[in-house]
Amino acid sequence: MMRQYELVDRVRKYNPHADEELLNRAYVYAMKAHGAQKRASGDPYFSHPLEVAAILTDLKLDDATIVAAVLHDTIEDTSSTREEIDQIFGREIGALVDGLTKLKKLDLVSKRAEQAENFRKLLLAIADDVRVLVVKLADRLHNMRTLHFVPPDKRKRIAEETLDIYAPLAGRMGMQHMRDELENLSFKTLMPEACAMIEARLADLRMKNVALISKIEDELREALSARGIVADVKGREKAPYSVWKKMERKSIAFEQLSDIFGFRLLVGSVEDCYRVVGIIHTKWPFVPGRFKDYISTPKQNDYRSLHTTVVGPGRQRVELQVRTEDMHDIAENGIAAHALYKDGRANDSDALSRESRAYRWLRRTIELLAEGDSPEEFLEHTKLELFHDQVFCFTPKGRLIALPRGATPIDFAYAVHTDVGNNAVGAKINGRIAPLLSELANGDEVEVAVAVGQVPPAAWESLVVTGKARSAIRRATRDAVREQYAGLGRQIVTRAFERAGKAFSDDKLKGALPRLARQNVEDMLAAVGRGEMFSGDVVKAVYPDFKEERKAGVAAQKSEAGWFGLKKAASLVFKVPGAEVLDDSQAIPIRGLGGDLPVRFAPNGGAVPGDRIVGILTPGEGITIYPIQSPALMDFDDQPERWLDVRWDIDEDRRDYFPARLIVTAINEPGTLGMIATVLGDASANIDHVEFISHSPDFRDIVLDIAVLDLAHLNGIIAQLKAKPVVSKVERVNG
């Protein structure tokens, strides 16, 4: 275990002005707080925070970050409190330690929900100070290095979490060295046989290519030296997990990989980077399509380098990376390499945001994902943002948009602005009209056509690849559905007040909100529309002395009239030709599935204009419309509060179709179904579903779910079907 003076010495090697007293105080405090606690390995628990601090001293981080690493488990695993840490070490260090502390006493039903909620807390803390992430990654790295002491079931979960979340997060922050080690340790735990196989093949290949690698290094140095360029040339080997991932992604064998070994050239300036590439391309032919310039267009994690592949000695493909020392530092250590951590300004978030594209991306992503989603959705969307390689696309004005591979113009639209995504209706890629689901490629120029007031289809959510797009679509869909329920709720509540003979206004509703346990009027109306609250309760909340007495309507009359009386009562309540209508203005108008209310039709038979109809309020689903003759209505006989007065309100200028179900008993012979389908086609009806029921060798029942315009259209179809010689009987199913 590292001694107190050793910790101070490690920090002072790169920071002669380190606060020795602060480091000593943190060491002693954490040692006392953890006391006799032990790790799974049997080592004193205090050895863990010290090893985390040691990892961070290798990255040359500031005093506050090192102290936070030493203290990072005190609030979570000891009797220490945030207030105590603030008092002894200051609010800055207290905030860092608190950001690293898991939420306690979570009353959640699943381990996944608990993991997601803790991850949300961590990322929100990172948005305030990215040093929380650096400490967390170092913490996870040491835990992975000692994972073999943990029970197997827990070991697998931790390795999966590391591979799913923490390794990609390290990569997104540009900390490639840490990402490689996290991935390889997870790989060794989750797929030990595959890992051992890759490591053995790499060792064998390394032995065979020692001479070739040395030759290429020498030739590169000589070629550059002859042009007056001093370069540090190093051969590098692809990490085992990276090799495995490429084999899986491209479905190729180990022998087919051409970039297992590569070479990194470190030079003194940006100009030298481009000169080096010119010299190399002059000496050896380069492989077309393999030159990438990440200096002029850095990756989102701040990675900058020139990549090229040439055909070198022995006709071997040689992959080269050319960069400066500063670029290399950032490529390996990412945000931890920024000077802000070296000069005492590590908590200057604005300065860091200007300097680090990676942190700017992280903060923006967290802000977008944190709005309104559940912890599980937050975790899912964050994974989407972390995992993919990138393509770079442009707006017509030349703005660069970085997106994951597999992104579509819909993802592009949401990356430009949420409103652009929500209102997107079409796209042009490189000047040509293209589907919104086209996969974008590097360098594409994308123009998005919008229509104000458009709502994104819910199906888009499963088709996009960015967390931002998926979150925004889900939110827009949720808002649209909420608006529908609120609209339905307003109609129900308005009619309830009219029946009660009471004055209705939003101001009166606002005064009753505390009694209804709702924050605003829209929430209350949406609750009524969803069936979570009944309109009578709203009236009583506004007028406490009100006693509900339903007027002559379906629910009121059914108890005294029985089921046949119910049908008779319905002719009074609903708009039926020739019948007496109580008050048509109090009935909710029904247009169909495409209207502005959450409406669905009876699942077993539907309803069509011309039917006398009843509305049943179904919690969470809106109104279900039944024809008055539907036997299913008997199931709601004892729930009068769910019955709604509804009427058809059909637009004569539109041809809307409505669902109906027929049972056709027909002769079982070839051509019967074709004859029935011809009748339906000639009548311009849609067939949604067909089912066959055989009850004798000679006859079969054909159950047809069809879509028609109205009752007259349906009756005409029934008459035509009955006229066919192969048809014995036609019956309509009434809900």
- Per-residue pLDDT, 139: 93
**658-733 has CATH 3.30.565.10 classification:** no
Query: What is 4-190's CATH number?
Result: 1.10.3210.10
- pLDDT tens-digit series, residues 359-413: 666 666 666 555 545 555 566 656 555 555 567 788 888 887 878 778 999 999 9
- Per-residue pLDDT, 89: 94
**197-337 has CATH 3.40.50.300 classification:** no
Mean pLDDT across 155-175:
85
How do 599-601 and 424-429 pair as beta strands?
A: unpaired
- Per-residue pLDDT, 375: 56
Which of 67-96 are b and which e, b meaning 16 or more Cβ less than 10 Å from the residue's Cβ? bbbbbbbbbebbebeeeebbeebeeebbbb
Mean pLDDT across 575-602:
57
- Per-residue pLDDT, 48: 94
- How far, in Å, CA of 677 to CA of 685, rounded? 10
Reading the block at residue 148, the tokens are 């073999």
- How far, in Å, CA of 176 to CA of 236, rounded? 14
Kindly list the distances between the CA atom of residue 617 and the CA atoms of 10, 428, 600, 634, in Å, as whole numbers in the listed order. 70, 44, 10, 14
**What's the mean pLDDT when you consider all of the chain?**
81
- pLDDT tens-digit series, residues 304-336: 999 999 988 777 788 899 999 989 988 888 777
- pLDDT tens-digit series, residues 14-23: 889 999 999 9
Whether 257 shows a pLDDT value over 70: the answer reads yes
Mean pLDDT across 560-570:
38
String of DSSP letters for 64-110: HHHHHHHHTTHHHHSS--HHHHHHHH-HHHHHHHHHTSPPPS---SS
Whether 581 shows a pLDDT value over 90: the answer reads no
- How far, in Å, CA of 236 to CA of 157, rounded? 31
- Per-residue pLDDT, 252: 86
Alpha helices for 100-175 (secondary structure H):
111-128, 131-145, 152-161, 167-172
Whether 108 shows a pLDDT value over 50: the answer reads no
Alpha helices for 162-239 (secondary structure H):
167-172, 176-190, 192-208, 210-226
- Per-residue pLDDT, 300: 74
Which residue, among 116, 104, 1, 80, has the nearest Cα to 47 in the 3D structure? Answer: 1
How many CB atoms neighbour CB 112 within 10 A?
12
- Per-residue pLDDT, 426: 93
Reading the block at residue 381, the tokens are 């969307």
Q: 528 or 229: whose pLDDT is higher?
A: 229
- How far, in Å, CA of 138 to CA of 140, rounded? 5
In percent, the amount of the chain with pLDDT more than 90 equals 29
What is the chain's alpha carbon radius of gyration, rounded to the nearest angstrom? 35
Show me where the domains of the chain are located: 4-190, 197-337, 476-542, 554-648, 658-733
For residue 87, name the pLDDT band (cuts at 50, 70, 90).
very high
Helices then strands (H, E): number in the chain?
29, 20
For residue 117, name the pLDDT band (cuts at 50, 70, 90).
low
The helix/strand/coil state of 409 is helix
Residue 144: exposure state from Cβ atoms within 10 A (0-12, 13-18, ≥19)? buried
- How far, in Å, CA of 53 to CA of 69, rounded? 5
- Per-residue pLDDT, 127: 65
- Per-residue pLDDT, 64: 92
- How far, in Å, CA of 163 to CA of 141, rounded? 12
- Per-residue pLDDT, 366: 61
Whether 354 shows a pLDDT value over 60: the answer reads no
- Per-residue pLDDT, 56: 92
- pLDDT tens-digit series, residues 698-733: 788 899 999 998 888 999 999 899 888 888 889 998
- Per-residue pLDDT, 557: 40
Mean pLDDT across 120-146:
83
Whether 520 shows a pLDDT value over 50: the answer reads yes
Mean pLDDT across 113-124:
66
Mean pLDDT across 278-292:
89
**Which residues are catalytic, by number?**
76-77
Maximum C-alpha span of the chain = 107
- Per-residue pLDDT, 613: 86
Which residue, among 74, 72, 117, has the nearest Cα to 97 in the 3D structure? Answer: 72
Whether 270 shows a pLDDT value over 50: the answer reads yes
Q: 491 or 105: whose pLDDT is higher?
A: 491
- pLDDT tens-digit series, residues 185-225: 999 999 999 999 999 999 998 888 888 888 888 889 998 99
**Cβ atoms 272, 222 nearer than 8 A:** no
Mean pLDDT across 328-350:
61
- Per-residue pLDDT, 425: 92
Whether 241 shows a pLDDT value over 50: the answer reads yes
Mean pLDDT across 580-608:
67
What's the gap between Cα 729 and its chain centre? Answer: 52
For residue 545, name the pLDDT band (cuts at 50, 70, 90).
confident
The helix/strand/coil state of 234 is strand
